[in-house]
């Protein structure tokens, strides 16, 4: 019986936690090994929109959909596309009503989502401060897990939910995460709602994405009133660290950031002028589109570990959670755990491959010189199809 199998999940991200929650509710005892020492060690990042057929579907399986609906932000779905003159090319406000219940992708801050998932699993099932170094295959599909803190564990199934640079992926695949060609500089406007109402007017309560000259300003209102902005560039990998920008000194960095958007509208440059929070350089990595592997007993991957892609379809966390639901249900519904994993992998390769291809197309489009005009046409055609 699968319930007696020792299942280890590496990583307490949205994927790993959703899987643990689903399995625990069905009477399994998976253990999550997380490298971070506590839930608060690292700031979890910005806002995520969860789609009905992905993130929300997984939350339904985990019994958390109603709770999500109470705390998500429907108004966060508002979307504005602008060009570099700050001319609005497309605007969607359908769900600005906070109680909207239409087919939707409401937003939730990553910290809030993680807390909801953490609250839904037993405290003793998460081993914080367990950074996996490697796993050694043993007989009969078992694996011996070696952690940086000296702990070793032997398990019947190990699930790599350990993100972009998964330590388990090399057991299944020769592929590694490669630089996508896009780098971002993340800046933050804390308490924008109170301090900078003019930029909130520009941005709206959701996302405001501006494209031009193979660059982008991708701004999103978060639940805590902060606007997080990803200044995005199609550049060689080394650019982030040889562009002369000091990421430790925001005020010194600002003139250099403004120079990168020299001929953009003064309205848009307010995102840089008003920045008053953390600044981070981020290289965007991806696995080859359609990444898959030959099934091996006792080990599998989900989420970014399986199909890391750029954020340009807002799909990564959604897919990680969907994978968790598919794998969890497959384990619950199959007598044989190995068949369950194989069944999940075949299904996941198909849907993740399609979304990875779509994400790559978006990324290529967003960094064309006249991207705003092309995105306007695309968004209008989607909108017509929906109505």
Ligand X SMILES: Cc1cc2nc3c(=O)[nH]c(=O)nc-3n(C[C@H](O)[C@H](O)[C@H](O)COP(=O)(O)OP(=O)(O)OC[C@H]3O[C@@H](n4cnc5c(N)ncnc54)[C@H](O)[C@@H]3O)c2cc1C
Question: Which residue do the tokens 């081993």 mark?
Answer: 127
Quick one: which of 162, 65, 166 has its CA closest to 113? 65
CB of 15 to ligand X, least distance (A): 3
Identity of the residue, 212 or 311, whose beta carbon is nearer to ligand X in the bound complex: 311
Out of 7, 8, 9, 14, the only residue in the binding site for ligand X (CB under 6 A) is 14
Out of 30, 35, 206, 212, the only residue in the binding site for ligand X (CB under 6 A) is 35
Identity of the residue, 267 or 364, whose beta carbon is nearer to ligand X in the bound complex: 364
Say how far apart CA 22 and CA 61 lie, in whole Å: 7
Interaction of residue 72 with ligand X, rule CB under 6 A: no
Report how far apart, in Å, the C-alpha atoms of 383 and of each of 91, 216, 222, 371 are. 11, 22, 25, 18
Interaction of residue 131 with ligand X, rule CB under 6 A: yes
Say how far apart CA 33 and CA 98 lie, in whole Å: 37
Out of 2, 9, 16, 84, the only residue in the binding site for ligand X (CB under 6 A) is 16
Identity of the residue, 62 or 317, whose beta carbon is nearer to ligand X in the bound complex: 317
CB of 52 to ligand X, least distance (A): 13
Say how far apart CA 341 and CA 296 lie, in whole Å: 9
Identity of the residue, 267 or 277, whose beta carbon is nearer to ligand X in the bound complex: 277
Out of 48, 82, 221, 286, the only residue in the binding site for ligand X (CB under 6 A) is 48
Out of 9, 11, 206, 312, the only residue in the binding site for ligand X (CB under 6 A) is 11
Identity of the residue, 15 or 204, whose beta carbon is nearer to ligand X in the bound complex: 15
Say how far apart CA 37 and CA 169 lie, in whole Å: 23
Out of 230, 264, 344, 366, the only residue in the binding site for ligand X (CB under 6 A) is 230
Interaction of residue 317 with ligand X, rule CB under 6 A: yes
Interaction of residue 222 with ligand X, rule CB under 6 A: no
Quick one: which of 327, 326, 325, 331 has its CA closest to 64? 325
Say how far apart CA 264 and CA 126 lie, in whole Å: 47
Interaction of residue 36 with ligand X, rule CB under 6 A: yes
Out of 7, 8, 15, 121, the only residue in the binding site for ligand X (CB under 6 A) is 15
Please check whether residue 349 is in contact with residue 41, taking contact to mean a CB–CB distance below 8 angstroms.
no
Quick one: which of 195, 198, 203, 218 has its CA closest to 277? 195
Identity of the residue, 230 or 264, whose beta carbon is nearer to ligand X in the bound complex: 230
Kindly provide the b/e burial profile for residues 24-52, where b requires at least 16 CB atoms within 10 angstroms of the residue's own CB: bbeebebbbbbbeeeeeeeebbbbbbbbe
Please check whether residue 111 is in contact with residue 239, taking contact to mean a CB–CB distance below 8 angstroms.
no
Out of 203, 222, 318, 343, the only residue in the binding site for ligand X (CB under 6 A) is 318
Please give the residue ranges that form the binding site for ligand X (CB under 6 A): 10-16, 33-36, 48-49, 131-132, 161-163, 167, 230, 282, 303-305, 311, 314-318, 320
């Amino acid at each position: 019986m699968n319930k007696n199998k020792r299942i280890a999940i590496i990583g307490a991200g949205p994927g790993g936690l959703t899987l643990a929650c689903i399995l625990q509710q069905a009477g399994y005892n998976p253990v999550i090994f997380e490298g971070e020492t506590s839930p608060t060690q690292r700031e979890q990042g910005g806002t995520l929109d969860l789609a009905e057929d992905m993130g929300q579907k997984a939350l339904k399986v985990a019994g958390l959909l109603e709770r999500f609906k109470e705390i998500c932000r429907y108004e966060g779905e508002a979307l504005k596309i602008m060009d570099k003159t700050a001319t609005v090319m497309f605007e969607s406000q359908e769900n600005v009503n906070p109680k909207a219940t239409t087919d939707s992708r409401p937003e939730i801050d990553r910290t809030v989502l993680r807390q909801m998932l953490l609250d839904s699993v037993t405290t003793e099932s998460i081993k914080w401060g367990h950074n996996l170094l490697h796993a050694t295959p043993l007989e009969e599909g078992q694996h011996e897990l070696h952690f940086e803190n000296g702990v070793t564990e032997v398990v019947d199934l190990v699930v790599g939910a350990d993100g972009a640079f998964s330590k388990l992926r090399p057991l299944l695949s020769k592929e590694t995460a490669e630089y996508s060609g896009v780098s971002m500089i993340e800046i933050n406007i804390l308490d924008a709602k109170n301090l900078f109402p003019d930029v909130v007017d520009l941005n709206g309560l959701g996302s405001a994405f501006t494209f031009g000259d193979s660059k982008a300003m991708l701004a999103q209102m978060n639940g805590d009133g902060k606007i997080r902005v990803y200044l995005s560039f199609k550049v060689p990998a080394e650019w982030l660290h040889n562009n002369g920008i000091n990421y430790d000194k925001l005020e010194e960095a600002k003139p250099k950031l403004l120079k990168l958007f020299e001929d953009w509208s003064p309205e848009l440059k307010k995102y840089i002028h008003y920045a008053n929070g953390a600044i981070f350089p981020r290289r965007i990595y991806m696995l080859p589109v359609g990444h898959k592997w030959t099934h091996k007993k006792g080990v599998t991957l989900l989420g970014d570990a399986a199909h890391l892609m750029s954020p340009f379809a807002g799909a990564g966390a959604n897919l990680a959670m969907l994978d968790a639901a598919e794998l969890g249900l497959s384990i619950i519904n199959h007598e044989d755990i190995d068949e369950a994993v194989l069944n999940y992998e075949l299904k996941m390769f198909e849907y993740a491959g399609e979304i990875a291809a779509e994400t790559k197309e978006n990324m290529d489009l967003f960094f064309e010189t006249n991207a705003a005009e092309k995105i306007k046409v695309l968004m209008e055609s989607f909108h017509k199809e929906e109505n």
